[in-house]
Structure 1
Amino acid sequence: MLVMGIETSCDETGVGLVRDGVLLGDALASSMDEHARFGGVVPEIAARAHLEALPSMVRHAVDRAGVQLSDVEAVAVTAGPGLASAVQVGLAAGKAFSLALGIPLYGVHHLAGHAAVDVLEHGPLPDRCVALIVSGGHTSLLVLRDLARDPIVHLGDTYDDAAGEAFDKVARLLGLPYPGGPAIDRVARDGDPAAIAFPRPLTGARDEPYAFSFSGLKTAVARWVERHPGPLPVADVAASFQEAVADTLSRKAVAACRAHGCGTLLLVGGVAANSRVRALTAQRCAAAGIALRVPSPRLCTDNGAMIAAVGDLVARAGLPPSPLDLAMQPTVTLTHALTHA
């Protein structure tokens, strides 16, 4: 079955085409530059950008896949979580394609897409693995079995700021551009990660072992910047902050794999594109004898291929499609790959 995936949860308009676990073609447009002057995503600007970009992204993806729109046999679309007005654009488009082409509709949980996208590069997931999903709005440790059929078990989530959100806020403190993750990653290469001893949140003996909290770390950076006299050593601050995040994420992820007897760690989401997070996690997984699976950076950030990957998995598993009156759910918890399950 040829599945078209549509992703519009934030500021990327993504379309992908997948058949039997193979990505045939995809296209991506970003409205990031339009949000940069505001220091973050403005929902209504994002929604308008999706309306403008989606038709051309569908055409580009279809052309790159070497197929016709009439060849598409199912459409998968992000139904949540995300910015309400942005999600609504993609979901409305998905319903329109479903009706016009007479094909099934699958309303996909955005975070399940981040987990599923790795299948397109590295093949089927193992029967059981731990997944660390780190993005601008979410930081979660999960146990995955059959992503299409089985419930998803949450080991821990963030109590407040997600890792990607903390990157954006710290970048603003340092006078770096939005989005903060890539900016800090670039600047940190010239800094000393041991220059400043920033805290590692929730890593004490009495803390929740798999929960996350990055608000306090962000505040620690802010207080250090406020107290520092003279020119600010931006590279050292960036490198030390980035090291604290990478240390916290990788430490908890490896501990979860050991405690739950999982030999594979799946690292996904936009923050998984960060070079230090990838490197330190790989180092610790290798030392612990854990296989690490990480998609290429371009598939870590939001894209249509990841939503098509979920649609492909659930279609091949024979799951019933979503109803056409499916509502978008901007804050839906990840329990299954499909939001209506």
Structure 2
Amino acid sequence: MSQQSLVILGIESSCDDTSAAILKNDTILSNVTASQAIHEQYGGVVPELASRAHQQNIIPVVDAALKKASVTLKDIDLIAFTQGPGLMGSLVVGTAFAKSLSLALNKPMVAVHHMHAHILAHFINEGTPIPKFPFICLTVSGGHTQLVRVNSPVEMIVLGSTIDDAAGEAFDKTAKILGFPYPGGPFIDRFAKEGNPKAFTFSKPQVGGYNFSFSGLKTSVLYFIRKEIVKNPHFIEENKADLSASIQDTILEILFKQLRKVSKDTGITEIAIAGGVSANSGLRSKLQEEGEKLNWNVYIPKFEYCTDNAAMIAIAGKFLAENQQFADQNISANARLPFVKS
């Protein structure tokens, strides 16, 4: 496998997005994603429906990625796929496809941790600055909220994580209370731009170490809304901008309290964000503001690399291959894949 011109096929299927990407060295040639709109009517991802849609989508998506990149299967040097964590049925589809393709093409493969890939998306060559090691990455998604010390592309240490809901869940669950469609996070982000973030006060947890908690916020919002609706049935509609801004401000303050703390304690001022919630405009703006105040060097991923995508799987695969961490045909999907291999 030539390191001079390494062509990687990345495959991502951890939840409800089927994605394939072609990476040449550290440059993305294509990044194609098929999303599943069917889950909107259920207010959340239905695992069985997701896995069936992956089976339908994976071949057309890989084919589209190859064509967009103007490469063929014969040009592929390495296959990188998401091993976990995620929905088991969804992961099995991507894993089985990658293993079959590896066998058919007689090409090596690497198994990628989904959250490692979110972090390593910062190293895709886009002509923008990349973080210097070590750096702190705040990973925020629908299923994860973590503070990670990144010492190298293959050495990452979780310093803190949520003890209950993830930040993405907090956005979606509070949005559901307000009656917004699923997924509700983007609606809160949109309405928050027009609202007063200090209009309403919601509970912020006291959690030890560098950990997070968001379940109390959901309960606080629920009880507050119930009380106000009794007095005014139109309360949500009349105050949706202020409610959204106040909820978003509370979530961001919970995140940044711990981020400021870990930066101060470690002395690390290279700060990045990653994961689906890093697409939130309030989070991106606040990171830049905090960076200016605290002299952080901040790194914000492009929008297309925030949500689940195969480009991040491909770049993570590149680092694993360089570290000789290849997978064999005995590899299997792991819905609860640990962040650090023991």
Shorter-chain TM-score: which interval?
over 0.9
For residue 306 of structure 2, the aligned residue among 289, 295, 300 is 300
> What's the counterpart of residue 3 of structure 2?
none
Q: Residue 54 in 1 paired to residue 54 in 2? A: no
CA distance, structure 2, for counterparts of residue 219 and residue 304 of structure 1: 35
Residue type matched to 1:244 in 2?
Answer: T
CA deviations 1:147-204 (Å, max 9, x no partner) are 13x2x211101000000011111111111011111111112222211100112223xx
CA distance, structure 2, for counterparts of residue 293 and residue 125 of structure 1: 7
CA distance, structure 2, for counterparts of residue 254 and residue 298 of structure 1: 27
> What's the counterpart of residue 213 of structure 1?
213
State the 1:124 CA deviation.
Answer: 5.0
Q: Residue 25 in 1 paired to residue 30 in 2? A: yes
State the 1:44 CA deviation.
Answer: 0.7
State the 1:100 CA deviation.
Answer: 0.9
> What's the counterpart of residue 174 of structure 2?
170
> What's the counterpart of residue 196 of structure 1?
200
> What's the counterpart of residue 270 of structure 1?
276
SS of aligned partner of 1:94? helix
> What's the counterpart of residue 69 of structure 1?
73
CA distance, structure 1, for counterparts of residue 9 and residue 256 of structure 2: 33
| Overall identity of the aligned pairs, in % | 37
> What's the counterpart of residue 42 of structure 1?
46
CA distance, structure 2, for counterparts of residue 64 and residue 259 of structure 1: 46
Query: 1:112/1:147 Cα in 2 relative to 1: closer, same or farther (>3 Å)?
Result: same
> What's the counterpart of residue 179 of structure 1?
183
Number of paired residues?
329
TM-score by length of 2: 0.93
State the 1:253 CA deviation.
Answer: 1.4
RMSD: 1.3
CA deviations 1:116-173 (Å, max 9, x no partner) are 111113465412111110000000001011113x2x2111010000000111111111
> What's the counterpart of residue 249 of structure 1?
255
> What's the counterpart of residue 103 of structure 1?
107
Residue type matched to 2:90 in 1?
Answer: A
Residue type matched to 1:25 in 2?
Answer: S
Residue type matched to 1:132 in 2?
Answer: L
Q: Residue 224 in 1 paired to residue 229 in 2? A: no
Query: 1:200/1:285 Cα in 2 relative to 1: closer, same or farther (>3 Å)?
Result: farther
SS of aligned partner of 1:201? coil
Q: Residue 279 in 1 paired to residue 285 in 2? A: yes
On the 8 A contact 1:13/1:50 being kept in 2, the answer is yes
On the 8 A contact 2:131/2:270 being kept in 1, the answer is no
Residue type matched to 1:250 in 2?
Answer: F
Q: Residue 2 in 1 paired to residue 4 in 2? A: no
CA distance, structure 1, for counterparts of residue 205 and residue 290 of structure 2: 19
